[in-house]
A = this chain, B = another copy of it.
Amino acid sequence: MTRGFLQELVNILFGYISKTSQRSTKVLDFHHPHQLKEGLEGFSLDLSDQPETLEQILVDCRDTLKYGVSTGHPRFFNQLSSGLDVIGVAGEWLTSTANTNMFTYEVSPVFILMEEVLLRKMQSIVGWSDEEGDGLFCPGGTISNLYSILVARYHFYPEVKTKGMGALPRLALFTSEHSHYSVKKSAAVLGLGSENVVVVKCDERWVSSILSEPTLVLSLQGLVPFYVNATAGTTVYGAFDPLCAIADICDKHTLWMHVDAAWGGGLMMSDRHRMKLGAWSVTWNPHKMMGVPLQCSAILVRKRGLLQKCNELGAEYLFQRDKHYEVSYDTGDKSIQCGRHVDVFKFWLMWKAKGSEGFGSQVNKCLENAEYLYDQLQRRADFQLVFGHKPEHSNVCFWYIPPSLRGMPPGPERDSKLHQVAPRIKGRMMEKGSVLIGYQPLGTRVNFFRCVFSNPATQQEDIDFLLDEISCLGHDL
């Protein structure tokens, strides 16, 4: 039964993968929560005491895919993670079949070593030596950023591990107003308090934060700064903080410099787009720009042994010292997790299949797509770019201006109307299912679309389609 059932499931998955790459297929088949909950054509989410037949299980699988969102579709522009890399998928299938945990070499000999190989590769790309670099793969970029604050705090105040925050002065963290919310969220979780995150204003031209010394001085009222998060590739604008300038300030004031390159890290694979990070720790999510299936995020730390000291508790049921192999490979006590999912194999396999060069070309292609979109938007009268400069990353932000607003002078009335355009188009887009793109307001800017490219399957024709579709869906607004 096993093989026959799995083969049928695999055939369903083959069908799904094949449809995902077809432009005639919808990106999603939208239903409201109440519709899905009521049950659609025999698809019921409810669970019962009695088992279903295997035939029904296969139908459930088909329906689950049918009512989901095709994140690998070349016209899915909604999230920083997109695409459906076949080698990556193969890697995940193997990972789930191997069904093991990352805590000890004993149960994950191969995967533990692959993690070491990949971390060293990433550290060397970041510019660190094998001796200084350390790291871990974590469940997502927010947890990676949390680690950076955790190890920074421990580095300056190792007593925090046993005594808690009560034994420490009131600490302050710095991050830019366009940085990811994970810095504030982590500060709340770690007991630092979100109010103690000093949010640095951004400069308008390049949308990147400027952390100047007066900012630091101003913030010193009763607070002890210890950590600065700089962003390499912000979530919405894809902007880069001035990393070298921030590194100099951090160096001078002995502050921990973290670079959140969750999104921008992928650019390190490209000879054309690589930058100098200059950080003590780095978050880099291969599941974003590099197209590795979810999840695959690394925290890299430029101080070997710090993760271990910060987090180890030496549980004897797991990390026995009298094992017959070299126990330094039992890396699980570096982690704030106990069991940890194997996120590394799919990434390793993709690297084998593409080589560093393949990742580089993939990243270059995504950035070329962004430039193409930027060029098209400049030419069209029905769209307005948020920025007049070329994209730094693959993010391109813009408004669609429906005919009714085209003659209207700038001001609160136009803004208020324009603010409603993107959500209404997005709603229609979801109902139609032809394409998917995100929108948001930011600061004083009313709702605008953000297009991001991380799927190498996307071609210029998909970009043309996106603009035509938005125009078509929003023409009457």
Contact of A51 among B47, B161, B191, B354 (CB under 8 A): B354
| A30 to B: closest C-beta gap in Å | 8
- By a CB distance below 8 angstroms, the chain B residues around A32 are 325-326
Contact of A48 among B60, B342, B356 (CB under 8 A): B356
Cβ–Cβ contact A352 & B86, under 8 A:
no
Cβ–Cβ contact B31 & A109, under 8 A:
yes
- A442 contacts the other chain (CB 8 A): yes
Residue among A69, A163, A192, A438 having the largest count of chain B Cβ atoms under 10 Å: A69
The distance in angstroms between the C-alpha atoms of A142 and B315, with both chains bound, is: 13
| A335 to B: closest C-beta gap in Å | 8
- By a CB distance below 8 angstroms, the chain B residues around A160 are 188, 191, 193
- By a CB distance below 8 angstroms, the chain B residues around A325 are 32-33, 430
A contact patch SS: helix
Contact of A293 among B96, B110, B140, B326 (CB under 8 A): B96
Cβ–Cβ contact B54 & A353, under 8 A:
yes
- A156 contacts the other chain (CB 8 A): no
- By a CB distance below 8 angstroms, the chain B residues around A430 are 106, 324-325
Residue among A64, A90, A295 having the largest count of chain B Cβ atoms under 10 Å: A90
- A67 contacts the other chain (CB 8 A): yes
- By a CB distance below 8 angstroms, the chain B residues around A18 are 2-3
Cβ–Cβ contact B320 & A94, under 8 A:
no
A45-82 contacts to B, CB under 8 A, are 45-52, 54, 56-57, 60-61, 64-65, 67-69, 71-72, 78-79, 81
Cβ–Cβ contact B355 & A101, under 8 A:
no
Residue-wise interface mask of A (311-348) relative to B, using a CB-CB cutoff of 8 A (1 in contact, 0 not): 10101111010111110010000001111111001101
Contact of A9 among B90, B439, B441 (CB under 8 A): B90
